[in-house]
Structure 1
């Protein structure tokens, strides 16, 4: 019998396991992951950015968790010797129409308590000599790290706390038995007092298994990247972002220096025809049918039709992708870019057709379900874990033990 069972071995699930182990040292904690490795999906395929929190609505979970998480992630990496760099980034306006949005973004950064600075085009080029723009914002607290390495350290710490971690273990059913739950898996049954669902791309399905209703469905969006060939990496010193369209939930294609020295360009954002569809040809009938028969998706598609078409064009046309990048760095040429990994974002879409723009944590019977935790969840993971642990009631038998 476990006190807490966590479904999902990505960065949110592992950070929650670590936080629960610290809060309740005598608790029996189980982490289940259906894949053969930790951080296999969203965590292992993201851009590796330690975000500052500039984009997020003041007062939102994303804004608070990201601001605090940026600091705690850097401190965690320093404490455990994980390679990282606080290199900062620039967000640049490339034409006059973007200046008002750039100003709004700067004001939002100030409201979120961040160290942001407005800089001229000349000052941008002092940081990024090859960028073409008319104005910019410097965000000094943005950093880079390999989140797979962070997750492996989380795993080590959970083990040191006495936690039980199981790979290759897929939950197929959750059965309520009074105040306890039985997790049926391909590796047998596990009984627990409390379930934490951090299943990412499948979090809405697991929530329904656990008799919780998130009032939203996961719609998968694939982000495709290119990588600069080694001899062209000098074009990018830090991270270079365009001014995002606040009506569209993605940040636009940008340049990211990775902690291993490579430079990635992207991502675009296109509907994936499979929840774990990292290739254009990946297809799953159930996943596809769920999206196509979900009225909320068609409301979203109609609202963002123009942007969606441009994203699809970029997906199938390298020339179109390159043209988007050339708005930031005109020197970039098609031959400078080679395809690299893609990621799939688990984006929750509400039944009314609105994207969930904050973290969505849904209570259930003896359970908590994390049903929307896209970027900046990796940056915020330590704070998310602590917040989830704070919401979980202390098991009665542990209360007795702690009071002795």
Structure 2
């Protein structure tokens, strides 16, 4: 008999990393992962761009900064041990206008505080040595930034859980969460599972599932669809590594960039448009329930009032390849609309506060025996193994979790 049973809702990379950490670090604990889909990593993990972020962007001392830097080390070691793809192809964060240089220098200071390895400033001439086809007047070069295959890592995590005596139960959409004496009862229709502790890693559904557990924190999830173009195979040699813009600090999105993948393809994007459904991977997917829930939330209107101009610009790129590629050509001037085709799509689960603020840092919240991951957007895949350590520490060391 197990000493105790821990349930985890969500078989994305964060949920599976957490299940694996419990299974390996706490012998005698039974772990059960509950996933509504018929396969693991179907949503955010399965649509991830594959970048292993080095920690350049995040506020020093934040969970994002600390867990990303730790997560990179853990992930690299794991991929090497399991012979999973992990290629350090490097990244340029490129300034194309004089007014971006101050923000670029601020990023450099932030990255140094986060102990990003081998980061350096490079000149216009040095940019061309690294990326012969790139534009820009100056850049930060992070040679240790890598790419990987996150769905493959998630599947490996799931195998580790099962091999350690745990269970990954697919086709189990959680419909209720109820406190019972000494534990939690999780239901999917008529099916019931009693656990001693419950950890919620539900991604796009995180606020809905947390609400089932009576977690009344005000954060709501806003789904942003990110659409990509793909360079045609014969033009994939336009870039060698990752080419990013200097991000706008008002937004948690990094802007349109060039991303080589481990399969040899090169993505251009993503944009960031408000999806009309939490799992709205196409423009035509509409969920009246999701839209009504968002419209009833005061933070959504405050967000719209602040950012409607940016929203219109992003939507233009969604419908026009010419508009989409306008920004991309600042970073690789030789690329044209004829060089790309429509590529993949992902949906980002972005937490929104009641005051209309797009929440930047990871948010992990506890209510008794339930721990809810309320906000874990990019770079959560990079940080997944460190997030798992953090959650396990909070769950099993925090007296309020008992």
Q: TM-score, normalised by structure 2?
A: 0.96
Q: Does 1:244 align with 2:247?
A: yes
In 2: Cα distance, 1:370 partner to 1:54 partner: 23
Distance apart, 1:341 and its partner CA:
1.3
CA-CA distance at 1:249 after TM superposition:
1.6
Extract structure 1 runs of 4+ deviating beyond 2 A: 393-396
1:41-81 deviation digits (Å, cap 9, x = unpaired):
00110110000110000000000111111111111100111
Counterpart residue number, 2:277:
274
Q: State the distance in 1 between where 2:181 and 2:219 align.
A: 27
Q: CA deviation at 1:394?
A: 7.1
Structure 1 counterpart of 2:299? 296
1:100 to 102, 105, 111: 102
Aligned partner of 2:289 in structure 1 is 286
Residue 225 of structure 2 is aligned to residue 222 of structure 1: yes
1:135-150 superposed matches below 5 A: 135-150=138-153
Partner of 2:9: 7
The corresponding residue for 1:183 is 186
Q: CA deviation at 1:213?
A: 2.0
Cα separation, 2, equivalents of 1:395 and 1:38: 29
Matched, 1:82 2:61: no
Match of 1:333 in 2: 336
Partner of 2:347: 344
- Counting matched residue pairs gives 397
Provide the residue aligned with 1:356 in structure 2. 359
- Which one of the candidate residues 63, 66, 76 is aligned to 2:65? 63
Q: Is the 8 A contact 1:221 1:344 kept in 2?
A: yes
Deviation at 1:235, TM superposition (A): 0.4
Query: Which whole-Å CA distance do the structure 1 matches of 2:108 and 2:38 have between them?
Result: 42
Corresponding residue for residue 213 of structure 2: 210
Paired residues of 1:224 and 1:342 also in contact (CA < 8 A): yes
Q: Cα offset for 1:291?
A: 1.3
Aligned-pair distance for 1:104?
Answer: 0.8
CA RMSD of aligned residues (A): 1.5
1:152 to 2:155 alignment: yes
Gapped regions of structure 2 (runs ≥ 5): none
Q: Distance in 2 between matches of 1:394 and 1:108?
A: 31
Give the alignment's TM-score, normalised by structure 1.
0.96
Q: Are 2:171 and 1:168 equivalent residues in the alignment?
A: yes
CA distance in 2, matches of 1:41, 1:186: 22
SS at match of 1:304: helix
CA drift of 1:280 comes to 0.5
Structure 1 residue 186: Cα displacement: 4.0
Q: Separation in 2 of the partners of 1:226 and 1:113? A: 33
Q: Could you tell me how far 1:395 is from its partner in structure 2?
A: 12
Structure 2 residue aligned with 1:24: 26
